[in-house]
Structure 1
Amino acid sequence: MILNLTFDDVKKMKENFLSSPKNIVAMNAASNNAITAVSLKREYVAKYNHVFSHEIPSMKITNQEHSGRCWIFAGLNVFKYEAAKNLNLEQFEFSQSYEMFWDKLEKANYFLESIIKTSSEDLQSRLVSWLLQRLVEDGGQWGMFSNLVKKYGVVPKDVMKESYNTSNSQIMNMLLKSKLREDAMLLRKMHDEGKSLDEIMKRKKEMLSEIYNVLAVNIGIPPERFDYEYRDKEGNYHRIENITPQEFFERYVKMNLDKMVSLINCPTPDKEYMKTYTVDFLGNVVGGDEVVYLNVDLESFKNIAMKAVMDEKPTWFASDVGKMMEREKGILDTDVFDFENLYGVNFNLTKSQRLDYGDSLMTHAMVLLGVDVMDGKPTKWKVENSWGDKNGKDGYFIMGEKWFEEYAYEIVVDESYLSDEMKEAWRAKPIVLPPWDPMGSVARVK
């Protein structure tokens, strides 16, 4: 049976709406103001303060500007606390543009390899269509960040500063995508014409050289070795000479990235807890480590994050930041807006249902720097964002515990925080998810 929407139906809807004076007031308010402004709950704004029972001393906030590099910013923000301690500095920042350059070049290679691998697939297949949409975007995952650092190391921000196009990446990305789609067409054509794999790979190298040119023009050339001069907390002068980015990481960050574990809380029926998962065609460095997650229950997820922060370990995490966020005040809370009373409509999807029905996924990476603990349980979190200092308290956000439960999906911690059972599960061969699975999303919000 087909049920058409009739004018009588619409008339009844209108009469029902106008029968309530509250609807008229809501219409007048919301049609003249931002929805978030008229639905903001003042009591939830007033209840938050930036005092935490456990807090890691913070530094100046970073700013990804008009780019989707939050995952790189968050990863380097984790590293900077170790570097500042080892260099005896009050403030420190790593170069995000350095990592961005290599990420773009590696993603271009990863994309072209994927195109070659799928050359026999129909152009209109879901997989090839997906590949042609998800190429050299700004977003990424912890595992991808780890691969970059293992291969290319890190440099201080002063060594490779931001360019206009790292902070405003839209046009550069558009041109890179157009060129790579052209390259994909040519590689698939070579396959169809029966060209040898050696010929195809030779052509791919030429294509990557062109991508390098575009990146070098827009970003600059990354240093192979560099000198770094600074004054420490006491004003003493230091000069580090002729060091490689890889050596700088080993000497001044000293983190064992092989010991870092990505935990997710994904309560969908198709993903068992205590199982590891990877996502097909999700990556950046060909030959690097797979992006792997261990799915754990919510209580374990929260408790491990809490313990890491209490131990003064800055903790990378990914969430759906656009949900229930008051950006100007820097509040992440499931009750900060009263949409239900504004519209007279309930929003009842669970975390699992939001993932299954495309209403939520990982969109943004940030760093946990503090937690308020009462009776052994977290009540709110201090979050280091990378949107500059104009939002929240000097750029720092407050995240409510319920928001963490509903919209946080991934944390990265040292394996020492895992139980023996979790460690065993982490070592198991991961289950491969399709590329379009919600756990294949990348953090990219600007």
Structure 2
Amino acid sequence: MSEITFDQIKAFQEQLAHHPAAAARSRAVQNVGPQAASREAIDGEDMKPVFSLDLDTGSVTNQKKSGRCWLFATLNTVRHGIADEFGLKDFEFSQNYNAFFDRLEKANLFYENILATADKPLDDREVATYLSGPDQDGGHYDQAAALIEKYGLVPKSVMPETYNSDKTAELNSVVNEKLRKDAKVLRTLKQQHASDDAIAAKKRELLSVIYRILAYTFGNPPTTFDFEYRDDKKQYHRDTGLTPQTFFKKYVKWHFDDYIVVASDPEPSKKYQQLYTIKAANTVVEGHPLTILNLPPARLEQLALAQLQAGEVVWFGNDVLADMDRKSGTLKGGLFNYNDLFDVDFHVDKADRIVTTEAEMSHAMTFTGADVVDGKVTKWKVENSWGKDNGHDGYFVADASWFDQYVYEVVVRKSLLTEAEQAALQTTPIDLPVWDFLN
């Protein structure tokens, strides 16, 4: 191991002094920051919010200061169906309702994972991963599917947002502190060879406390409710005595088994045409499993476009924090030209970004349109869940380069797959560790 010497510092300073336009670049970066100093143009025709294929999807939703993008994006894909059939263009499901049970199910899975690894040391990578984030509000499409299939849906008016569902940081801290304490209790019981009945009883007791915390913060979920509304033609409707499950079955013509998450993960350890799962991330135990088909990158664009052309929006997982201008709603590959600003080559291909942890599946949104020129998509219309104050009334524009670099998975109908791809769905999936990039 070698230290930094003062001779090296002197050499660095001399090199800086001779660097082209060093003083001007320094002033620019110091005054406005690296992003503003390096941002490429965003107001040209190439990023104009006009699309040859544009589905009518109504107003955007707002997840506010929470990590529920995956749930919002899923509910957005589902709500467009009910909007069309029942004339409820800007209808919203209660995100808070499903978020309540998401947090409860994640607590249950955490307990199960802690018990399953009780014989491993606390610094084991798997155990440490569980303890690093026992119960957060991020998630996946399949986790949302499992929640909806088990618990159903309710209109937003039946269980509206609260301070805590809008801003989850405080609740995250409270729940995770409790779960880490509970982990010690369960590990001790398991290590002392307590009976299965004793462990199950203790787990139920701990889950009851988590339920109480969630009820205080999110509200107690309804078991029955009445659905009263006026449709887009101002016609009055009232449906009484519904449960969340009967509401889902009656009003939502959606079958999650018809869809598959298609990823394009180019890591050397991954194979294309291969089915993957992450059993330790199946938050609803015995529910809809997390299943991912890994395909070459070109297939993501082809499948997403095919589904849009069939009249359906597309859920997609991405790294929204990369090359994004939030206020204008711009998602543009190479938006921030750090290469020119710092005179350094920052380029790293997608596979290397993943294995070095530079890449992150940080967000989920919905494709609702595309601009197709000579058979190629030049830009995509993106429904975000950050409210109307960002982008074009909440909609963003993503260019083809941004899609190639930062879109990692899409959810599409299985019927759009080739025969070979559909055959891969019938194979036994490879179980990935909980710390894998696809989680």
Q: Same fold (TM over 0.5)?
A: yes
Aligned to 1:264: 263
The aligned counterpart of 2:295 is 296
In the other structure, the counterpart of 1:254 is: 253
Deviation track 1:85-108 (CA, whole Å, cap 9, x = no partner) reads 122123211110001000000000
**Aligned counterparts of 1:114 and 1:324: Cα–Cα separation in 2:** 36
C-alpha contact 1:274 1:295 (8 A) present in aligned 2? yes
Contact 1:329/1:393 (CA < 8 Å) preserved in 2?
yes
Q: Distance in 2 between matches of 1:38 and 1:225?
A: 55
- 2:138 matched residue in structure 1: 139
The alignment partner of 2:298 has SS state of: helix
Q: Which runs of 4+ in 1 moved over 6 A?
A: none
Kept after mapping to 2: 8 A contact 1:153/1:245: yes
Over 3 Å counting, the alpha-carbon distance change for 1:74 and 1:403 in structure 2 is same
Q: Who is 2:14 aligned against?
A: 15
8 Å CA contact 1:23–1:343 kept in 2: the answer is no
- Number of the residue aligned with 2:378: 379
The answer to whether the 8 Å contact 1:36/1:326 transfers is no
* Cα separation, 2, equivalents of 1:89 and 1:123: 51
SS in 1 for 2:396: strand
What is the distance in 1 between the residues matched to 2:427 and 2:140?
20
Moved more, 266-275 or 278-287: 278-287
Please give the alpha-carbon distance, in whole angstroms, between the structure 1 residues aligned to 2:284 and 2:246: 20
Deviations 1:139-185 (A, max 9, x none): 00011000000000111111110000000111111110111111110
Query: Which one-letter code corresponds to 2:132 in the other structure?
Result: Q
- 1:45-64 equivalent positions in 2, closer than 5 A: 47-64=46-63
Task: Report the count of equivalent residues.
Answer: 439
Q: How far off is 1:239 after superposition? A: 0.3
Instruction: Return the TM-score normalized by structure 1.
Output: 0.96
Matched with 2:88 is 89
Q: Distance in 1 between matches of 2:260 and 2:386?
A: 26
RMSD: 1.2
Aligned pair 1:72/2:89, yes or no? no
Q: Whole-Å Cα distance in 1 between the matches of residues 339 and 159 of structure 2? A: 48
Please give the alpha-carbon distance, in whole angstroms, between the structure 2 residues aligned to 1:3 and 1:188.
43
> Helix, strand or coil: the match of 1:172?
helix
Q: Structure 1 43/198 Cα, relative in aligned 2: closer, same or farther at 3 Å?
A: closer
* Deviation string, structure 1 residues 274-304 (Cα, Å, up to 9, x no partner): 0001124112111113211000111111101
CA drift of 1:192 comes to 2.2
Task: Please say if 1:242 is aligned against 2:241.
Answer: yes
What residue in structure 1 maps to residue 391 of structure 2? 392
CA distance in 2, matches of 1:418, 1:47: 30
Quote the offset at 1:128 in angstroms: 0.8
Q: Conserved in 1, the CA contact under 8 Å of 2:57 and 2:89?
A: no
Q: Determine whether 1:173 maps to 2:172.
A: yes
Tell me the equivalent position of 1:432: 431
Q: Verify the 8 A CA contact 2:227 2:239 in the aligned structure 1.
A: yes
SS in 2 for 1:276: strand
Greater mean alpha carbon deviation, residues 317-326 or residues 281-290: 281-290
Cα distance in structure 1, aligned partners of 2:42 and 2:286? 52
Distance in 2, Cα, partners of 1:407 & 1:139: 18
* Deviations 1:304-362, CA, capped at 9 Å, x for gaps: 10111122201100001111111111111112221111111111210011011111021
Q: Any gaps of 5 or more consecutive residues in structure 1?
A: 441-446
SS of the aligned residue for 1:136 comes to coil
Alignment match, 2:127: 128
Contact 1:86 1:253 in 2 (8 A): no
Is the 2:282–2:290 Cα contact (8 Å) retained in structure 1? Answer: yes
* Alignment correspondent of 1:151: 150
Specify every segment of 5 or more residues in structure 2 that has no aligned partner in the other structure, as ranges. none
Task: Please give the secondary structure, in 2, of the residue aligned with 1:367.
Answer: strand
Whole-Å separation in 1 of the counterparts to 2:300 and 2:89: 31
Q: Give 2:231's aligned amino acid.
A: D
What's 2:31 paired with?
32
Is 2:174 aligned against 1:164? no
Equivalent residues of 1:67, 1:168 under 8 A apart: yes
1:45 and 1:336 in contact (8 A); partners too:
no
Classify 1:199/1:45 alpha carbon distance in 2 versus 1 (closer, same or farther; 3 Å): farther
Pair 1:339-2:338 in alignment: yes
Aligned-partner SS, 2:21 = helix
1:223 aligns with 2:202: no
Alignment partners' CA distance in 1, 2:121 and 2:298: 44
Are the counterparts in 1 of residues 100 and 214 from structure 2 also a CA contact under 8 Å? yes
The alignment status of 1:308 with 2:307, answered yes or no, reads: yes
User: Do the aligned residues in 1 keep the contact of 2:47 with 2:399 (CA within 8 Å)?
Assistant: no
Distance 2:38 2:158 in 1: 46
Q: Which amino acid aligns with 1:197?
A: D
- SS in structure 1 at match of 2:194: coil
Q: Determine the structure 2 residue equivalent to 1:186.
A: 185
What SS is found at the alignment partner of 2:438? helix
1:260 maps to a residue whose letter is: Y
Displacement of 1:407 in angstroms is 0.7
Change in CA separation of 1:177 and 1:24 when aligned onto 2, cut-off 3 Å: same
Residue type of the alignment partner of 1:35 = P
Partner Cα separation in structure 2 for residue 111 and residue 90 of structure 1: 38
Q: How far apart are residue 416 of structure 1 and its match?
A: 1.0
One-letter code aligned to 1:311? A
After TM superposition, list the pairs within 5 Å mapping 1:339-358 onto structure 2: 339-358=338-357
In structure 2, how many angstroms separate the alpha carbons of the residues matched to 1:250 and 1:266? 35
In structure 2, what is the equivalent of residue 444 of structure 1?
none
Q: Which amino acid aligns with 1:411?
A: V
User: TM-score with structure 2 length normalisation?
Assistant: 0.98
Q: Could you report, residue by residue, the CA deviation over 1:224-279 in whole angstroms, capped at 9, with x for unpaired residues?
A: 11101111111110001111111222222211111110000111111111000112
